[in-house]
A and B are shown apart, each in its own frame.
Chain A
Amino acid sequence: MVETPIQDLTPLTLSQTQPRAQGSARLTVKARDGRSVISRLHQQGSLKTLFPRTDGTALTAVLLNTAGGITGGDRFDLRLRAESGTALTVTTQAAERAYRANDGAGRVCTGIHIATGSRVDWLPQETLIYDHAALRRSLDVTLEPDANCLLVESLIFGRAAMGESVRALSLDDRITLRRNDKIVLADRTRLTGDAHALLAGAATGAGAGAMASLVFTAPDAADKLESARALLPETGGISQPAPDVLFARILAPDGFALRQALIPLIAHFRQDPLPRPWMI
């Protein structure tokens, strides 16, 4: 078992100097003495997993892309498995960056299997989309009976503060949630072309520069719907599209406003405090 102390951060290198980054990680979490601990960890390439010390019984994993971002031809693959009776929170050390891609799309595949009686909170920081980025990303979550999850993905289209807008983009971003092998939620984002223009419409982005999707499952999900709705900004919505599933979507002018909207909402769906990278 390899447990990497958080102070051993590999210095960031920009993806431009390492154009075809590749990284993969496999993590299995098991229950031991009432706590969730690492059962197996295998990682290689530009994807590192750190385990900061935290209070409480859940395990927190912090992902780090040592290539500093994603560009054309990059490939990242992450497999997480929460064995029975565990709780795992996953976040990222920094915002992910999808850089200009000259060589096909960058690919990021994440698979999470959550066993009976377990819960996984997938809370990466924002993904910052640069002009001319090409990204194919999938998040596939499978739930056994009595397993639950909280999933949050945020996209920022260009850095508004720097007057940057995304004029050319090829983005395919998907979240798939299955319970007992049956698909219960499929969020499919496809944004191809002049993202700035495409997001201007009243049906699309209403001029927003950032968007987040949130998925929450629980047997009593319906009980949290009204209280969650009260936390949303005017440009956000939440609903219960399937029996034990809540789905929220938030638009915001920029990444800062999006995070301001997300923090209380994430806190609402968690017993534990938000992971540290969200507090900075």
Chain B
Amino acid sequence: MGMDVPIPMPTDTHHLTLMQWLSPGYPVGAFAYSHGLERVVEQGAVGSADQFETWLTDILTLGTGRSDAILLHCAYRTETPHRLVELDDLARALSPSSERRMETELQGEAFARTTAAIWGSEDAPLAYPVAVGAAARRAGIDATMTCAAYLHAFAANLTSAAIRLIPLGQTEGQTVLARMTPICHDIAVQTAHLCPDDIGSCCFAADIASMQHETQYSRQFRS
């Protein structure tokens, strides 16, 4: 793997590269995943913009958002291919359900494949936050900026899902997303020096929702 030598890139274009990697147009298929939101909407537990905002804030600060942020930062700091594989194994093993595992594996695989094809890296398929952290290191893009952008893309994708599922008005949904901006930034900063042992979640109901989603009768999303 060519991750030991960051390829120098002009710093002022880094945010544009991040926008490309984490835009809905980058072919990782993010739009197909709702992280269990489709189930909680069906159950009636999330049915308004306020309820969605609470759900999303908890997912970001107490669940996958924070855990993925730590994984991304750790992948960025990882020096050897062997350690990156170990971190990737952990990232996959953290999935509580088959759909959540698919969510991180398939997006990570597609991200690594596309990025390798364009920028000429040779990464093996990695879980999504690990793949993004490793790619940012290679490209010499700031880790915290990458992490904040990754979290914002995650929040934006779930907001699009909420707009379709609940449904919410476009402006209502985007208002919630705007409130997530400082949260994404804070998580990215606070997790910058954490290690895999700091990973932990209390989003138990979200885990259960993703398990129950497997047998939900009518589904638009893969998770």
Name A's B-contacting residues (CB within 8 A).
172, 174, 177, 182-191, 198-199, 201-206, 208, 211, 229, 235-242, 247-251
Known contacts A183-B89, A204-B203; 15 further A-B pairs (Cβ under 8 A): A183-B90, A186-B199, A188-B199, A190-B201, A198-B202, A204-B63, A204-B204, A237-B211, A238-B211, A239-B96, A239-B97, A247-B97, A249-B208, A249-B211, A251-B204
Please give me the residue from chain B that is nearest to A235 by CB atom.
B208
Minimum CB distance partner of A200 in chain B: B54
**Shortest beta-carbon distance from A141 to chain B in Å:** 12
Closest to A174 in B: B200
Chain A residues with CB under 8 Å of B208's CB are 235-237, 249-251
Contact A198 B62 (CB under 8 A): yes
Which residues of B pack against A, CB within 8 Å? 40, 45-46, 51, 54-55, 58-59, 62-63, 67, 86, 89-90, 92-101, 199-212, 214-215
- Cβ-defined partner of A237 (8 Å) among B95, B101, B210: B210
Are A189 and B40 closer than 8 Å at their CB atoms?
no
Chain B residues whose C-beta falls within 8 Å of the C-beta of A185 in the assembled complex: 93
How many whole Å from B153's CB to the nearest CB in chain A?
A: 19
Task: Report the nearest A residue to B205, measured CB to CB.
Answer: A206
Q: Is the interface of A mostly helix, strand, loop or mixed?
A: strand
Residues of A close to B89: CB separation below 8 A:
182-183
Q: A203: which of B55, B90, B101 is its contact (CB, 8 Å)? A: B55
Q: A203 contacts B98, CB within 8 Å?
A: no
Pairs A-B, 5 closest by C-beta atoms: A190-B200, A237-B211, A239-B97, A237-B208, A203-B58
Is A204 a contact of B58 with CB atoms below 8 Å?
yes
| A241 close to B59 (CB less than 8 A) | no
**Cβ B93 vs Cβ A242 within 8 A:** yes
Residues of B within 8 A of A248 (CB): 211
| Residue contacts A-B, CB under 8 angstroms, 30 given | A174-B200, A186-B90, A186-B94, A187-B96, A188-B200, A189-B201, A190-B201, A198-B202, A199-B202, A202-B45, A202-B55, A202-B205, A203-B58, A203-B59, A203-B63, A203-B203, A204-B58, A204-B62, A204-B204, A205-B205, A229-B215, A237-B97, A237-B211, A239-B96, A242-B92, A242-B93, A242-B101, A250-B208, A251-B204, A251-B208
Inter-chain contact B204/A241, CB cutoff 8 Å: no
Please give me the residue from chain A that is nearest to B100 by CB atom: A241
CB within 8 Å for A249 and B207 given contacts A185-B93, A188-B199, A206-B45: yes
Q: A186-B93, A187-B96 are in contact. Are A239 and B204 (CB under 8 A)?
A: no
CB pair B93–A237 under 8 Å, yes or no, is no
**Complex Cα–Cα for A240 and B214 (A):** 10
Which residues of A lie under 8 Å from residue B62 when comparing CB positions? 190, 198, 203-204
Q: Which residues of B contact A251 (CB under 8 A)?
A: 204-205, 208
Q: A191 contacts which chain B residues (CB < 8 A)? A: 200, 202
What separation, in Å, do the CA atoms of A247 and B210 have in the docked complex?
12
B101 touches A241 (CB 8 A): yes
> In the bound complex, do residue B51 and residue A202 qualify as a contact, i.e. CB atoms below 8 Å apart?
yes
State how many angstroms separate the Cβ of A251 from the closest Cβ of chain B. 6
CA A189 – CA B62 in complex, angstroms? 10
Q: How far is the CA of A172 from the CA of B197 in the complex (A)?
A: 10
Residues of B within 8 A of A229 (CB): 215
